[in-house]
Structure 1
Amino acid sequence: HDRQLTGTWCKNQWAKKAEYFLSVAGGIVGLGNVWRFPYLCYKNGGGVFLVPYLFFLMTCGVPLFLLETALGQCISKSGIICWEDVCPFFGGIGYANEIVSFYSSISYIIILAWAFFYLFHSLSQELPWAICSNTWNTASCKEFNKTKLFTNWTKVDNATSPALEFWDRRVLNISRGIDKLGSVNWEMALCLLLAWIICYFCIWKGVKSAGKVVYFTVSFIYIMLIILLVRGLTLPGAKDGIIYYLYPEPSRLADPQVWMEAGTQIFFSYTLCLGVLTALSSCNKYSNDCYRDCVYLCLLNSGTSFLAGFTVFSTLGFMAYEQGVPIDEVAESGPGLIFIVYPHAISMMPVPQLWTFCLFIMVILLGLDTQFLGVENIMIAAKDMFPHYFQKEGRLQAFLLVFSIFGFLVGLPMVAEGGIYIFQLIDYYACSGTCLLFIASFQCICIGWVYGADRFYDNMEDMIGYRPGPFIKYCWTFFTPVICIGTFIFSLVDYTPLKYNNTYEYPEWGYALGWLISLSSIIPMPLWMLFKLLRAKGTLCEMCHFYLFIYLFFPAVPLTLPI
């Protein structure tokens, strides 16, 4: 039973180390770095927010990131297979990873469809979200140069901005509720189709084609981010925006919600517990220094989040300065920042078409890189589950085509008039930190206690030639699972039902559907354990006593069931 993990079977490997590094960087550096981290930072105490953020990064983010990448590289199989190799009793972790990854793939690409729609309209002579003379505008629409207003998804003095009306009435054509789905916006459906076509052709040859694409996408993302940052810093009011972004409020550290949001952001921005990191690292060479990669990638990801805050809040400071309102009246998170506030702010600049084009090129590239990873993860998992079937030339490409068509069809309801309600339901319940925290706890228990953290360190030493510091090992064994379980319990106790725009309450069946989606992400783990117990020899009571004894007194023994 003293089984060691070995990297004896591998698929296509990365042609160069840089391709792997850039692919992972492109996947973890996503829209959450741009539209979520800066907002959370200003909302939760400015610079003080970095304290809980760094705490969760060091105790959960880096240890889990290293665990997943080292595991994939060590076994050379994707997450859906490798967890069962580590311990058959914990094989459900891989299926939970893939389910969350699937939900993420079909919902995340909707953001790309919106971004393409804005990109095409940015080429018009006059930006449609800057004027009130469009057919979809209402009488309450007021242009910036005619009145002072702000766009925080609400009306102010019976006035709405053209950017808000473009989003609500042109892009979403939003209905009154999820029970009024309405008709599909076929212009948006074509943008969704375009996003899936690009995704298909960029990864249809697996890591060999995706690895070439990221040279352009990741590099261009940082070029665009720096261009927008330099432009933002030269605007009047930028200094006030940056001060507002970083101004510390130490009293906020006493608020448990601040710590909860910091932990959720770590899981959200590092693509943890999706199986993505395991799948990509499974294509590494066995001797690759995954520990060094982990440190560099984590520094890059968090550094990008911090840098994006300067880009966003320098522009918001300019917007507040021009309108003569406090910055907290223009600050927004999520789609509201990218598709309402930021376009409205850019429309006040000289040559707004140029800056809008740069913005949405960056948004599209950020989204595409993350989407590539999600779909590629599912492809690698399928190849690992049915290796003999996919050995035949063209079958994996055919499966990718079928999956892309299926993803497009599933996404059509999300570009209907009531589609935004479905999108938020999936995003809130399926891809939330609550599900990821639960999965992370199982991963740490499996490696830290069942397989054994010391044994996994032996495997890492065999791969990279040295043992990482002991802190990571203690995190896997104690700190990370305790923190994840504690945060998971707090998230359930502090649960707040989803509201669209903080006003619309979903019907009871909508919340029930949301919880069903959420449960489908985590139920594979206990179900898999129950399945293995029922198939094992002996009575259920005998099996339970045996495994409890093993857990308590021999935590480093891999549990191979006698089936």
Structure 2
Amino acid sequence: MNLDEIGYRDTGRKKMSSESNSSGDNSIEMIKRGENRSTETDTRGGWKGRMDFILTCIGYAVGLGNIWRFPYLCYKSGGGAFFIPYFIFLLLCGYPLFFMEASYGQFSSLSPITTWRMSPLFKGVGVGMVMVSGLVCVYYNVIVAWTLYYLFMSFRAVLPWSSCGNDWNTENCVDGSERVVINSTLSNYTVSTMSNISSHIITANGSLTLGSAKTSPSEEYWENHVLELSGGIEEAGIIRWPLLLCLILAWFFVFLCLFKGVKVLGKVMHFAAPFPYLVLLVLLIRGVTLPGAMEGIKFYVFPKWEKLGEFQVWGDAALQIFYSVGMGWGGIVTMASYNKFSNNIYRDALIVPIINCGTSIFAGFVIFSVLGFMAHQTGSSIEEVVSQGPGLTFVAYPAAVAKLPISPLWAVLFFLMLFTIGVDSQFGMVETCITAFLDTFPKTLRKRRVLVSAIACIIECLLGLPLITQGGIYVLQIIDWYCASFSLMLISLTEVLVIAHVYKTERFMADIEFMIGFKPHAIWIYLWKYVTPAVIVFIWLFSVITLGPVTYDGRSYPQWAIVFGWCLGVSSVLPIPGLIIFQILQERGSLRQRITKLMKPSEEWGPSVQEDRDRYFKHLALQKRTDLTALHIEEDGETEKHMFLPSSEKDSIPV
């Protein structure tokens, strides 16, 4: 392997040793130019402890989709049999991408945009990540605002969605005292909603009906009172003022946790990350003691092996892994960039994804134990009460909770858990956007973090106003349907291909070894080069094939709304080719020279802490000299040397 393969330009092979020595000296001088660069890392801050990073990553990756998407998907796709493709794609796609993003984030201590000094030609990948996170932040906090509203309404002696006879109820309302039959087609809801980092595409179909005319109190409360749902996207209606107050409160809470950076965020996550697990455990204990709970759990986990032969099941498993682990959003890169340079990121990258997947499975037991109880109470089958997305969290599950003794207590716990899970993921996405601006303009903005955080939260809050009108959920549907689907796959595919084949996996593995002190198994090289890109292409094709035009509640959208959605989706991908063209035009030389230069790491690339940076460039200089010596020996026909020294020799490098 020559120097071009690890990212630094060489003057070419020289037959004369004097020319080679001269070339080597010049190249070493070029490498040393980056040694004394001012990094301003001291003002950037970092985690106070290792658990801060792990807990924040868990909170970021574990989102609403773990609660309202995975359980439904598991039951629909073969119960326990679904775990097989789910964990296969975790190994082939989830782990490699998480480890890759966490590694180069920690190595550079930079945001998703500035870290692309490793290959400046593809800076648009980082810009696309930040744009996706920024767009999703807009509507994700609207969902958090919904949970806040339900949380406040739960502090009542009688839950407002537990019975008919309220101002918002219609003559079609049927309360729990009557036998409610849930339409097995679940055709009254079609809501696609993202969770985090995250993030997770949901298609919710949930309706409580009697025959084809009657509706449940929880459904009417959701549609007629909370949303005051209009007839379509053309009817925006007025702003729902209670939801506006909840949205402002949600953004204020985000600001309080982020305006001082990760020092405060890390402390907050020591409570915010474990708390949902405590609530889930309490809800599970209560759930399994209810009549009918075991039937619901059996329905959830009982394997249907014949489902493994269906293409849809494998596609759903791959898609769920891709969204639930949180790759391609920039959040993993951002969180890892605040680690100490020598932190064992390899260990952390193995812990977080498996906890995330375990949470999804655990949440399924909580959800299906209560749905089993609801089916028992109403005399319905599990298929008739099961739902997902908002149909689960704002209609079906609240309806089930309303039938429990001391129902307000369980409602408070449930919506407090949803709020905590949602806002944890929101922290990661908003911090990604803030850090991107601070690292891009460090001299101007880094000392003004409070102001930048306030402006970011205010702008995102204002952008969310159309989503809390009476027709807001139709707008939310468009943003989610197109913004967090095919674009994420294309960003992640470009990311892994550039690092594997432009920056080179050999160079990347050497950087990781230098950072953590040992070399990970060589299987990661093959995964990054071949397997993971192929899996991403499969996920992308599956996503595009199954995407279809946006709909809500069976209603088609006008053409202008579909065009608007596609524009939003494409907007986060356009920076990749756009910045490639822009940067080529800014460079000098022939087209080939420009592209070649921009594909190589810039002189600013490397560790940000000066001490680590000095060691790194001395390490590269020694590797350079070793490679030149190997070239001379190879030209004499004696032997061929490897570019990188063994770990035992590397330890003897003077610092």
Shorter-chain TM-score above 0.5: yes
Whether the 8 Å CA contact 1:130–1:143 is kept in 2: the answer is yes
Deviation, 1:156, is 2.9
Deviation, 1:275, is 0.7
CA distance, structure 2, for counterparts of residue 132 and residue 35 of structure 1: 26
Whether the 8 Å CA contact 2:105–2:333 is kept in 1: the answer is yes
Q: Percent identity?
A: 39
Q: Partner letter of residue 138 of structure 1?
A: T
Taking only aligned residues, the RMSD between alpha carbons, in angstroms, comes to 2.0
The residue aligned with 2:649 is none
- Note the 1:43-62 alignment, pairs <5 A: 43-62=76-95
Match for residue 480 of structure 1 among 532, 537, 553: 532
Whether the 8 Å CA contact 1:149–1:160 is kept in 2: the answer is no
The residue aligned with 1:113 is 145
Count of aligned pairs:
547
- Note the 1:458-497 alignment, pairs <5 A: 458-497=510-549
296-305 or 352-361, larger mean C-alpha shift: 296-305
The residue aligned with 2:330 is 275
The residue aligned with 1:204 is 259
> Is it true that 1:137 corresponds to 2:166 in the alignment?
no
Deviation, 1:560, is 6.6
Whether the 8 Å CA contact 1:149–1:159 is kept in 2: the answer is no
The residue aligned with 2:600 is 558
Larger Rg: 2
Helix, strand or coil at the partner of 2:502? helix
Deviation string 1:516-550 (CA, Å, 9 cap, x unpaired) is 1100011111212222333344565x579x76xx9
466-475 or 290-299, larger mean C-alpha shift: 466-475
- Note the 1:429-508 alignment, pairs <5 A: 429-432=482-485, 434-501=486-553, 503-508=554-559
> Is it true that 1:73 corresponds to 2:124 in the alignment?
no
Match for residue 412 of structure 2 among 349, 352, 357: 357
Deviation string 1:490-515 (CA, Å, 9 cap, x unpaired) is 322343222213x1111111111111
Helix, strand or coil at the partner of 1:522? coil
Deviation, 1:379, is 1.1
CA distance, structure 2, for counterparts of residue 25 and residue 489 of structure 1: 28
- Note the 1:303-452 alignment, pairs <5 A: 303-392=358-447, 395-432=448-485, 434-452=486-504
Deviation string 1:380-402 (CA, Å, 9 cap, x unpaired) is 1111011001243xx21111111
Q: Partner letter of residue 514 of structure 1?
A: G
Deviation string 1:203-258 (CA, Å, 9 cap, x unpaired) is 11000111111111112111101001111111111111111111222222222222
Q: Partner letter of residue 513 of structure 1?
A: F
Whether the 8 Å CA contact 1:533–1:543 is kept in 2: the answer is no
Match for residue 534 of structure 1 among 567, 581, 585: 585
The residue aligned with 1:153 is 207
CA distance, structure 2, for counterparts of residue 188 and residue 164 of structure 1: 17
Match for residue 562 of structure 2 among 511, 520, 534: 511
395-404 or 5-14, larger mean C-alpha shift: 5-14
Q: Partner letter of residue 231 of structure 1?
A: R
Deviation, 1:19, is 1.1
Q: Which runs of 5+ in 1 are unaligned?
A: 552-556
CA distance, structure 1, for counterparts of residue 556 and residue 210 of structure 2: 22
CA distance, structure 2, for counterparts of residue 115 and residue 161 of structure 1: 20
CA distance, structure 2, for counterparts of residue 69 and residue 260 of structure 1: 26
Q: Which runs of 5+ in 2 are unaligned?
A: 9-30, 184-205, 604-655
CA distance, structure 1, for counterparts of residue 323 and residue 426 of structure 2: 14
Whether the 8 Å CA contact 2:445–2:452 is kept in 1: the answer is no
The residue aligned with 1:31 is 64
Whether the 8 Å CA contact 2:180–2:210 is kept in 1: the answer is no
The residue aligned with 1:191 is 246
CA distance, structure 2, for counterparts of residue 100 and residue 53 of structure 1: 25
The residue aligned with 1:167 is 222
Deviation string 1:434-465 (CA, Å, 9 cap, x unpaired) is 22111111011111110111111111111111
Q: Partner letter of residue 153 of structure 2?
A: H
CA distance, structure 2, for counterparts of residue 391 and residue 291 of structure 1: 29
CA distance, structure 2, for counterparts of residue 163 and residue 343 of structure 1: 7
Change in Cα spacing, 1:255 to 1:287, as seen in structure 2 (3 Å) is same
CA distance, structure 2, for counterparts of residue 53 and residue 9 of structure 1: 42
Deviation, 1:558, is 3.0
Whether the 8 Å CA contact 1:9–1:76 is kept in 2: the answer is no
Change in Cα spacing, 1:117 to 1:494, as seen in structure 2 (3 Å) is closer
- Note the 1:94-109 alignment, pairs <5 A: 94-109=126-141
Q: Partner letter of residue 558 of structure 1?
A: K
The residue aligned with 2:609 is none
